[in-house]
Amino acid sequence: MLKFAILLLAAIAMASALTDQEKFSEFKTKFNKNYGTPEEEQHRLEVFLENSKKIDAHNEKFAKGEVSYSQGLNQFSDLTAEEWKNRNHGLKNTNAKTVV
């Protein structure tokens, strides 16, 4: 029964799947994303799609019970891992020492 439910949900998801461009457009609208140039927008689309594929692959593992949590898109889905890391998560380093 569980397998049937998972297959049914997968079939529904596939039937209502958005194109990559539609998915990106919804992401930009939801998170009020605007890019300065067409080149930047193309780069962000590529990053977004790569992140989306990673999320989908992870969630397939979740559906099979191979991992214990699911993932989803958020306002940072157009950032690379390096960009995310460099954002410092909005925190200030209070342990930094000043060298005089």
Provide the residue ranges of all domains of the chain, joining segments of one domain with +.
15-90
Residue 1 CB neighbour total at 10 angstroms:
5
pTM passes above 0.85: no
- How far is 23 from 56, CA to CA, in rounded Å? 13
Q: Are 24 and 52 in contact (CB under 8 A)?
A: no
pLDDT at 87: 82
* pLDDT tens across the length of the chain (100 residues): 666 656 556 655 555 568 999 999 999 999 999 999 999 999 999 999 999 999 999 999 999 999 999 999 999 999 999 998 888 666 666 665 655 5
Architecture label for domain 15-90: Orthogonal Bundle (1.10)
